[in-house]
Structure 1
């Protein structure tokens, strides 16, 4: 319709002329709906609210004095509030491409400042920290020109020909390569072990197959041999049974003959030997009793004979004194003492003779006898 203007969804319509906009702005802002605009008296312009992109490639010096080339991408747009649209419209409405140029320059300055306070190690390992600090420091400036930043991405960090970053990554690369070599060696070893295991299994299967085939062949041969030897084996078994029966019969005959010999010869001989032994024992007992009686009778006779010979012994002892010169000191008493001494010597001799004759040779030697201890009396 003539005079009715509608902005696109990603645009803000700025109407200048007539009364001022909100907050004393030199134009009114219309978004999301249309509005009647009087021709000639009013003028409309459109400011994009779409996402814009700015690229930055900046040489920065780190805290260590190392020069790095940092490439980053900034995604930004005009703010949706009226104040941001007014600020951006006053600055970029005539040349909206300048928003990307100015945004790149702003972020380049903040990148240099932030990287100058960090080391290479921090920049490499903490890129998100770098991006966050750059966004925080640039937020105020971007708001003043009506822009908001949606994201900041650090694309690359290059140290040129210094080789500092490569030196930093060398230990890690070496470790990764070592791990890769170890993994490759382990994989090769596992593959070799698997191949060897498969070969062993195949050999085992082949061996088992050969064993089973040999067992089957042996079983067939055994059955064939048994069938061919069935007749001779049956005949041999029959002969073996006959021999066993004959052997058993002969053994029984031998046992019977042995029992007959025992009854006819051994038992009578044992009975006769027992009879002879009993008779011998009885005879020995009789002779022992007779010997004891004879010994007792002989001892009594010997004692009697010695008593009968005692006067003769005393007489012979006295005759030995007949030619001796004997002095009697105390008269009749002294003579009696001499006679008593002779009789005592005779009794001593008699007792000694009786002991020697009535005891064995060993007892005679113990009693002090000499010359064998044998005395002959006539």
Structure 2
């Protein structure tokens, strides 16, 4: 907007031409906000509040009379308070570059003064003390011109060709070199010991590794041998099982064949042997009978005669039963029993006759006299009543 002015964040706007500022300042100080400025009647200028730098390189003489060239860097800026802005504005507003020049000159003077009261050893070894003393002595003077020093750094200290600092550092260098050599020797010894320990550990590791490797190889060899033997063992086991199965099958086949042979050969052979034995016994019996017949022809003739008369005896006995009162209780079985009884009676009679005849000193044998025919003496009479033949 026309007539409205705003300063930058690192600037202070100084407005002159109107009423005076606070504290009797010839201008008003505006920071951090804008304000209306009447054209023609008011005049506006800007003062930088940013950080600035001043470099100092000054030859100084120490309390020992040794000339030193000291190089330092100062970081400063205009103070943030209104009084510092007013003081700096009145001195540097028209030429703000003069702030660095004036600051360098101020610090160069204080640096010469303070170094003149110190020795080279103190300056070299206590640089921070030197910087602090320079800042403390320059602080009030810098505040008067509205500047605030943030830091002072002593960058270098040079004694030129005198070699004082070098000579001063030689004992320390020698001590440092001795310490360095000792440290190096200790480091070398520690390195050797470490190498020896590492070598022992490596040897132990190699030994343990060899043992483990040997055990592993042995285990692998055992596993391989077992694996190699597993095939033949399995084959032998399989063959053994096959042989056992074949043996069992052969036994079963032998048992079956034995049964077949018994059925096909032994039984028929036993039957044939039995048949032959029976035939042989029959033949032997026949031979015996023939021998006995040859030895006693007369007895054979008598037996033959009796046998020839047997049917007649049975006939006569059955004729005697013709008129008998016989009750048959069990049907056809009863009739069969009657017939069998007749035959049995005939055989009994025949046997009795044969015994009687054979007991008369052979009188009958060879006589050729025929037996008397069977009469009614042995036949039961009708007066005897019914005969119950079971």
TM range (shorter): 0.5 to 0.7
**1:216 equivalent in structure 2:** none
Cα distance in structure 2, aligned partners of 1:205 and 1:83? 79
2-structure distance, mates of 1:204, 1:134: 65
Q: Partners in 1 of 2:155 and 2:96 — Cα distance?
A: 25
Alignment of 1:324-335 (within 5 A): none
The alpha-carbon deviation at position 55 of structure 1 amounts to: 0.6
Q: 1:86 corresponds to which residue?
A: 86
SS at match of 1:8: coil
Q: TM-score, normalised by structure 2?
A: 0.51
Alpha-carbon deviation of 1:192?
Answer: 2.5
Output the CA distance in 1 between the equivalents of 2:202 and 2:111. 68
What is the CA-CA distance between 1:111 and the residue it aligns to?
A: 0.4
Between stretches 179-188 and 193-202, larger displacement belongs to 193-202
Partner of 1:57: 57
In structure 1, what is the equivalent of residue 28 of structure 2?
28
2:69 equivalent to 1:69? yes
Secondary structure at 1:26's aligned position in 2?
coil
Q: Are residue 108 (structure 1) and residue 108 (structure 2) matched?
A: yes
Distance 1:11 1:202 in 2: 71
CA distance in structure 1 between the aligned counterparts of 2:145 and 2:206, rounded to whole angstroms: 86
Is the partner of 1:55 in helix, strand or coil?
A: strand
Superposed counterparts of 1:281-360, under 5 Å: none
Deviation at 1:180, TM superposition (A): 1.7
Give the TM-score of the pair, scaled to structure 1: 0.53
Q: 1:38 to 1:169 in 2, by over 3 A?
A: same
The residue aligned with 1:14 is 14
Q: How does 1:188-337 map to 2 (within 5 A)?
A: 188-199=188-199
Partner secondary structure for residue 95 of structure 2: coil
Worse-matched range after superposition: 140-149 or 193-202: 193-202
- SS of the residue 1:46 aligns to: strand
CA positional deviation for 1:191: 2.7
Matched positions, count: 213
Is there any run of 5+ residues in structure 2 with no aligned partner, and where?
215-390
**In the alignment, which residue of structure 1 is the partner of 2:124?**
124
Local SS of the residue matching 1:152: strand
Secondary structure of 2:19 counterpart: coil
What's the secondary structure of 1:44's corresponding residue?
A: strand
How far the C-alpha of 1:186 sits from its partner, in A, is 1.9
Take 1:82 and 1:175, find their aligned partners in 2: how far apart are those partners? 56
> Counterparts of 2:74 and 2:198 in 1: how far apart (Å)?
59
CA 1:117–1:203: 2 relative to 1, 3 Å: closer
Distance 1:79 1:206 in 2: 74
Cα offsets for 1:172-231 (capped at 9, x unmatched)? 111222122122222222333344445556667889989xx9xxxxxxxxxxxxxxxxxx
Aligned equivalents of 1:202 and 1:7: distance in 2? Answer: 75
SS at the partner of 1:58? Answer: strand
Report how far residue 30 of structure 1 moved: 0.6
Unaligned runs of 5+ in 1: 214-378
- Pick closer, same or farther for the CA change 1:203–1:40 going to 2, 3 Å: closer
Q: Tell me how far apart the structure 2 counterparts of residues 153 and 64 of structure 1 sit (CA, whole Å).
A: 23
Structure 2 residue 173 is the aligned partner of structure 1 residue 173:
yes
Deviations 1:37-83 (A, max 9, x none): 00111110000011111110000001110000111111111111111
Q: Distance in 1 between matches of 2:166 and 2:40?
A: 66
RMSD: 2.4
Look up the match of 2:373: none
The C-alpha deviation readout for 1:293-334, integer Å capped at 9, x for no partner, is xxxxxxxxxxxxxxxxxxxxxxxxxxxxxxxxxxxxxxxxxx
- Distance in 1 (CA, whole Å) between partners of 2:83 and 2:5 is 22
Determine the structure 1 residue equivalent to 2:344.
none
Q: 1:76 to 1:205 in 2, by over 3 A?
A: closer
Q: 1:170 to 1:36 in 2, by over 3 A?
A: same
Alignment partners' CA distance in 1, 2:151 and 2:201: 62
Q: Secondary structure at the match of 1:169?
A: helix
